[in-house]
A = this chain, B = another copy of it.
């Protein structure tokens, strides 16, 4: 799908921008494409952008001192991703973003977002609504992690995003659920 059209429809769900305003806002974005396996953000780097996924699938993840990986998010088309902590505080990234499939993105720099928010009240409204939604989703996931066992959360995840079942290696789904791949495998027999 056309990146501009996808973004337009995505934003239209929460904000009312005129044609001209949207065109102006869209100027802030840069299109990029990546091959499967490529890194978009590497932990330790300075970063400047957040990303809107146009096609493909990416993962946002943290790797701890023992090389154990935790997946924070699988981002499909119309999702956003970045290390927001690093982006807003200007510190180095502590999480990485990598491509699970070939991927097309629209990049928006921190400065460009902030000036678009200043220029267009509706852009600021869009990002407020978006962040509120992310916060709510994150709280829900935290609660589910504390409250439900792995099997339940696995089924919950696959129900919510059935595409993941075939698109993403089980290893990464385990890393999203915070369990070992062996444990995830054994759920089937239980």
Contact = CB atoms under 8 A, between A and B. Distances in A.
Contacts of A64: 147
A146 to B, nearest CB: 4
Interface in A101-134: 117, 121, 124-125, 127-128, 131-134
Q: Is the interface of A mostly helix, strand, loop or mixed?
A: helix
28 contacts: A62-B143, A64-B147, A68-B147, A70-B143, A70-B146, A70-B147, A72-B139, A84-B132, A84-B136, A85-B136, A85-B139, A85-B140, A88-B132, A117-B125, A121-B124, A124-B124, A124-B125, A127-B128, A127-B132, A128-B128, A131-B131, A131-B132, A135-B138, A138-B138, A138-B139, A138-B142, A145-B145, A145-B178
A41 to B, nearest CB: 15
Interface of A: 62, 64, 68, 70, 72, 84-85, 88, 117, 121, 124-125, 127-128, 131-136, 138-143, 145-147, 178
